[in-house]
Amino acid sequence: MSEEPMMRTGAGDTRHARRMSFGAELLDDGTGAPPRTRFRLWAPSCEAVDVEIDDGARAAATVAMARAGDGWFEAVAPCGAGARYRYRVDGVAVPDPASRFQPDDVHGPSEVVDPCAYRWRDAQWRGRPWEASVIYELHVGALGGYAGVEARLGELARLGVNAIELMPVADFPGVRNWGYDGVFPFAPDASYGRPDALKALVDAAHRHGLQVLLDVVYNHFGPDGNEIARYARSFFRDDRVTPWGPAIDFRCAQVREFFWQNALYWIDEYRFDGLRIDAVHAIGDDDWLRALAARVRRDVEPGRHVHLVVENERNAASLLGEGGFDAQWNDDLHNSAHVLLTGERDGYYAAHADTPIRRFARALAEGFAYQGEPSPIHDGAPRGEPSGHLPPTAFVAFLQNHDQIGNRAFGERLRALCNDDALRAATALVLLAPQIPLLFMDEEYGSTQPFQFFTDYDGALADAVRDGRRREFARFAAFRDDAARAAIPDPNDPRTFERSRPPARLADPDGDARDWLRFYRSALAVRARLVTPHLRGARSAGVDVLRDRRGVEAEALVARWTLGDGAQLSLALNLSNAPVPLPNTPPGKIVFETPARARDRVRDGVLPPHAFVAWRTGDVKARARGARADEARAKARAAAEATAEATAEEI
């Protein structure tokens, strides 16, 4: 059976669905006949498959599924949206691996969903160009579910971000999870709300001018609730094992199609503006990844901006640009910055411990710090590919994200680990450099609240997760004794989750939080006016590590880029505790600085400690006026479209 996007339009609304070759699909012949649903399961390891259906209106029914070739089983049954169902494979009842909703969690029945029930109001939304993106990563559960995130959209738009990135929402066991233990890739987790609540969140975000990106996991399934091997053993490899069990076999045509359809499902049916694909190095099949990108580019409707981002420990530059993906999370930039800010050198920070300022400078100018050099944390094996030819927007820059905070034993935020002034300086650089900036939820308030690793398992699995996490830290000097490891929070303790939930913030917070918020807003406003409009065609013009008065390399640098309009953007950063000579003041007008009046020392040829200064050449005022005019026109168009939609809805 073919899979294809489907769209219905009416007065003031649009409805979207993705027809798929997997799972339950409502059949509508347009005659008003009683509803029917087609059920389809790939179960090559089974001799017989039935579908058990309970639609709440009549006695539960069992329908034998017919063989449809190549391991497929298919049946059509008289039921509609809301019906609960399970497959019975060789006598064992299992949920649908392509379930659109699991109302009673991972071991309960699946539910037939009508994807066209939701009436979209974002018909005019086409997204934003990738280079215009400023991303805000968040955890849906920590913010109160889909409705809780929706309530914060206005606040986020005022901050100056224009994309929110949701950590994975695929259905996972229990009600507390980071999302990387999902076992139903097509089913938004029920603890966050029903599918239409997620669609309403995306719809509302678009009305606020915000893109919505989704983190998806294609390299493994979680440890509880995945039944696929029971009826499709060839879904997994028997020659390769991951920390989560046998590796997914992307050599299999049905497996490739399952995940290709998943990507298009989120983009078409839920109108996500892009996907961040988790840990693609663990997939182990770059050809499949390139084919995924090509499939998305081919199938997305013309004129719509859809973005694909990877997390990739291998630093495979060949996947970016012509490889089909827009960008990669820049862990090298983060890791070297973290060493500079905190002095920590344990674990994976050891790869940046020798000359962190040089690693940081290279990651800032060229994307990857490791471009084929031996890596000390990979037993000296070469890591990475040359990346200097790629545009700066091929990299997502951050100082904090869910991993870099939550993978710490106690989930400390960066502010709890370093000097405030140094953190402001490094933050300003990330927000104004041409790489795509990413913030993690609540960092804009200078939060020191932890974000810890949390799960919701029972019994032996809960014990294994708790003990396994504590064992992970035994290689760190601070956790070599049992008592220190015992203090690491239990992921299954509900208090671990509660500690990780950001507080409700007022529209105008007081004191310290207000000062941090103003700092972020002002930096992002400068980016929006003077940097973002000219990122297309931007390229690095080099970076210099500065030297202290003794001639020794300092933890300071000046980086330069030529923007698309020919102007030069120069950023100077000093993370050291002492002033550093600045022998050649960059050309142009100072457009941002921290601390206040850092320029006074710069005029004397000195970059103060814990300071950041940005210069831009060209007519800065004219550029700013042009950007503000463009923004005003965009807001006027959005307001007119919203009025038109509301009028159509009333009619």
Residue that has been written with the tokens 């507080």 in this structure? 503
Q: Which two tokens mark 167?
A: 């950590």
- Taking alpha carbons only, the member of 357, 370, 365 closest to residue 313 is 370
The answer to whether residues 275 and 266 touch, using CB atoms and an 8 Å cutoff, is yes
Length of the chain: 651
Q: Which two tokens mark 301?
A: 């409707």
The answer to whether residues 370 and 315 touch, using CB atoms and an 8 Å cutoff, is yes
- Taking alpha carbons only, the member of 121, 109, 163 closest to residue 138 is 163
Q: Phi, psi at residue 234, to the nearest 5°?
A: -75, 0
In the set 196, 278, 366, 490, the catalytic residue is 278
- Taking alpha carbons only, the member of 221, 211, 335 closest to residue 278 is 221
| 311 assigned to active site | yes
Tell me the C-alpha to C-alpha distance, in Å, between residue 317 and each of 286, 465, 490.
Answer: 11, 34, 38
Q: Which two tokens mark 593?
A: 């600085």
The answer to whether residues 400 and 408 touch, using CB atoms and an 8 Å cutoff, is no
In the set 122, 131, 227, 311, the catalytic residue is 311
- Taking alpha carbons only, the member of 20, 18, 78 closest to residue 54 is 78
Residue that has been written with the tokens 């790939």 in this structure? 42
In this structure, which amino acid lies at residue 293? A
| Rg over CA atoms, the chain | 26
| 444 assigned to active site | no
The answer to whether residues 359 and 353 touch, using CB atoms and an 8 Å cutoff, is no
Active site residues: 278, 311
